[in-house]
Structure 1
Amino acid sequence: MAKLAFTELTIRNLKPGSYFDEKTPAFGIRVGKNRKTWIVVRGRERLRTRVGHYPALPLAEARKKALVLLGSPLDAHSLSTFADGRELFLRTHCAQHQRERTRKETERLLTKHFASLDRKKLSGITTGQITAILDGLLPTPSEAQHAFKVARTFFRWAEARGYCKNPCTMPAPSRDVARDRVLTDDELKRIYREAKGQFGQIVRLLILTGQRRGEIAALKWEYVDLDKGEISLPPEIVKNGRRHTFPIGPMVKKILQAMTASEGYLFPARRRQTPFAGFSAAKHGLDKVAGVVDWTLHDLRRTFATNLATLGVAPHVIERLLNHITGSLSPIALRYNKAKYDKEMQEALRTWETRLTAILAPSRIPRTSRRA
């Protein structure tokens, strides 16, 4: 069996026989009279697994699939602990099937909430142990839901590879009750005024733009165009995976112009080249000084949308600003209606900033008249 440096040109001109890649030794191709078949060779028994056929499956894609199948030099016997499995799961399944933002969230959930399982054998983890972990998250229903979904995906993957039986078979935790909290003008005023520092800038931008906290926290200067007066969020940081470009008003421009432009994130984490992530502690501090309770950062998005509707902004314009896929426009309308509504969005934001300026204005205390 010959070893070659696989390239598209090399593969195209191969004669019948079996060949293996110099870059990925266990990855090869079997060339017959009528077809070329990608293969990988795995395990001590040197079992061959078919990956696909060339040219329907190009070299680059075939190599990716082969690496996923090969996974790691660890076999089912040496891959014994939850920590080992988590590392391989992130490196193979998540790297191939998830966007970077989703992969990082998966890693966070598996590392933060299931660390007590790190040294336990995969085959020995029980349904009761996972249930106990999820029960501890019940005070935060949304986090419990996300942790459950990630754990379920991980153990299904592990079972499919023969590492263990899936112990994550319990019902999902109770869903979080949908929130309908809209902040009052007074609450919005107190939060905006007390929002200081890096976190404060994020909060103010959330109030002004109605975007998601993860999208604002992940802003880079390359997404911002102050001359055009717009921000363009790339698909990799947007929830629905679609580029989202929206206008910005004078108040947003003022916040951005006061910041020092540099490469990378507008709001970097401390000592790391990653987006700001200290939301919990920072919000706790803001709650204290603002005196506002029982609210979340996502409530600012709902408050933004509700105020725009009250101001008479059309529903489809609000949805464009929020980057919602569904809403007042039907799926068919969304497919054919490619209007960007730039002017309408600009006018909506000007109207909102005017309204917000009035909310933030100092309260006027009537003067007591003096008698002569």
Structure 2
Amino acid sequence: MKPKSNLPESGRATLKDTVVPGLELRGNQKGATWTLRHRVGGKRIRDTIGHWPGLAAPAAREAARVKLSSVAVTRAAGGDVLAQRAERYRLKNARSFGDALTVYVAHRSELRTIGHADKLLRDVFRNLLTEKLPAVSKQDILACVDARRKTAPAVADLSIRYVRPFFKWAYDRGEIAADLLTLRVGQTAKRDRFLTREELGKVWLALEHHADHVAAQAVKMMIATAQRRDEVAGMRWSEIEGDLWTIPGERTKTGKDYLVPLNTEAQFVLDHARKRDCGSDLVFVGATGKTPFSGWSRFKTKLDNEAGVSGWTFHDFRRTFATLSADSGIDPIIADRCLNHVGASTLNDVALRYQHSTMLDQKRDAFERWATIVRTCVDAVEGSNIVKLAGVQ
């Protein structure tokens, strides 16, 4: 068999091998494909063996014999050759984990949390993104989750919450096996940590040692406003008018615009931030000058060491606000509104449906009282560090 002389210059032709029955070469002088036609259980099938001229006739014949031998062995052992072949074909043509996730995100674009889910899943399962989705096993998923649980248990649990509807979507389309639907969220304990008055004072004083640093200013703003870290990090000058900061709905957990009255301490932070004048609309701009500051972990390590306070997270400032404001007589309903909880923990179902007041004046008063609480905590720590010299009046 001499394919080089017998194949046409263009178009397609099929040459049958005279040595191995069923072996054929299909194509032209520019390139051709070796295929093997044979029967399995009465069904005629065609398998691709390789490509010419990379695979010459002798090697193609040997590969065809190996294929026929493998089929015979599998059938003798009771294996389903056709089912195995279909599975290989399905896997070859399946989407990768990452590509399937892209389609899923576009399909569920109406979900408010879909953007966050996409980002988190690509982070936690980044080692699986290029894998074919049908080939991803439950063990693969749990290995990624367990690795993340060592450093961020809450993120690990959230990754399971987000990936389950993605797998349900993929299963309904026949892309994965059912065992991935049995993933369960762990039982990570909910945090109840808040900073005591002394701890809050120490942290604030440590921040004042870096008064001109963008990270210190951002953390002060978290304390002063009791808002979430990412909401503060994305704060823009164009969102501020007078003593009001409007957080746009795409950055709030409720998905709605939210008004935050800026108290005295928050205004002081903005005054310092204006002096940096980075030419960006972002108040707390990162090193690139185009994106929000993001070096939180390194700065917090430094802050822990200088303040002598550990075991807390930036989100704990919100719990600190709720706790210390309640101790100071601030109405819990107003405190919930200050945290943009929409009264979830203090209003009943009927009130939640009918109570839509922004309570702006009440929030303004609560935040100003909170500024006083923070300053009192700082003053108490500063006062305790003053050593009275003997004989000095």
What is the TM-score normalised by the length of structure 2?
Answer: 0.67
Give yes or no for contact 2:225–2:262 (8 Å, CA) kept in 1.
yes
Distance 2:369 2:272 in 1: 23
Secondary structure of 1:259's partner? helix
1:278-317 equivalence runs, <5 A: 278-317=295-334
Distance 1:106 1:302, change over 3 A: same
1:71-86 equivalence runs, <5 A: 78-86=93-101
Give yes or no for contact 1:202–1:216 (8 Å, CA) kept in 2.
yes
2:102 maps to 87
2:169 maps to 157
1:231 maps to 245
1:337-356 equivalence runs, <5 A: 337-356=355-374
Gaps of 5+ in 1: 1-74
Give yes or no for contact 2:96–2:133 (8 Å, CA) kept in 1.
yes
Query: What per-residue deviation string (whole Å, max 9, x for no partner) do you get for residues 8-53 of structure 1?
Result: xxxxxxxxxxxxxxxxxxxxxxxxxxxxxxxxxxxxxxxxxxxxxx
Distance 2:269 2:130 in 1: 48
Distance 1:334 1:77 in 2: 52
Q: Which amino acid aligns with 2:251?
A: I
Equivalent of 1:199, from 200, 215, 234?
215
Secondary structure of 1:363's partner? helix
Distance 1:363 1:126, change over 3 A: same
1:30 maps to none
Distance 1:126 1:292, change over 3 A: same
Distance 1:347 1:115 in 2: 46
Secondary structure of 1:245's partner? strand
Give yes or no for contact 1:158–1:166 (8 Å, CA) kept in 2.
no
Give yes or no for contact 2:280–2:290 (8 Å, CA) kept in 1.
no
> Is 1:367 paired with 2:362?
no
Rg (Cα) greater in structure? 2
Give yes or no for contact 1:76–1:163 (8 Å, CA) kept in 2.
no
Q: What is the deviation of 1:296?
A: 0.9
> Is 1:115 paired with 2:160?
no
> Is 1:218 paired with 2:238?
no
Distance 1:166 1:316 in 2: 45
Root-mean-square deviation (Å):
2.5
> Is 1:245 paired with 2:259?
yes
Give yes or no for contact 1:199–1:282 (8 Å, CA) kept in 2.
yes
Q: What is the deviation of 1:272?
A: 6.9
Q: What is the deviation of 1:300?
A: 0.7
Secondary structure of 1:232's partner? strand
Secondary structure of 1:350's partner? helix
Secondary structure of 1:143's partner? helix
Gaps of 5+ in 2: 1-89
What is the TM-score normalised by the length of structure 1?
Answer: 0.71
2:75 maps to none
Q: What is the deviation of 1:129?
A: 1.4
Distance 1:151 1:336 in 2: 34
Q: Which amino acid aligns with 1:251?
A: E
Query: What per-residue deviation string (whole Å, max 9, x for no partner) do you get for residues 265-299 of structure 1?
Result: 22234437443333233322322222211111111
Distance 1:289 1:93, change over 3 A: farther
> Is 1:105 paired with 2:116?
yes
1:133 maps to 144
1:175 maps to 187
Secondary structure of 2:180's partner? coil
Query: What per-residue deviation string (whole Å, max 9, x for no partner) do you get for residues 140-173 of structure 1?
Result: 2211111112222222222233333354234424
Q: Which amino acid aligns with 2:216?
A: G
1:256 maps to 270
Q: Of Structure 1 and Structure 2, which has the larger fraction of its residues in helix?
A: 2
Greater Cα offset, 155-164 or 135-144: 155-164
Distance 1:322 1:214 in 2: 14
Q: Which amino acid aligns with 1:216?
A: V
Distance 1:85 1:334, change over 3 A: closer
Distance 1:208 1:166 in 2: 48
Query: What per-residue deviation string (whole Å, max 9, x for no partner) do you get for residues 281-321 of structure 1?
Result: 33223222222111111111111111111111111111111
Secondary structure of 2:181's partner? coil
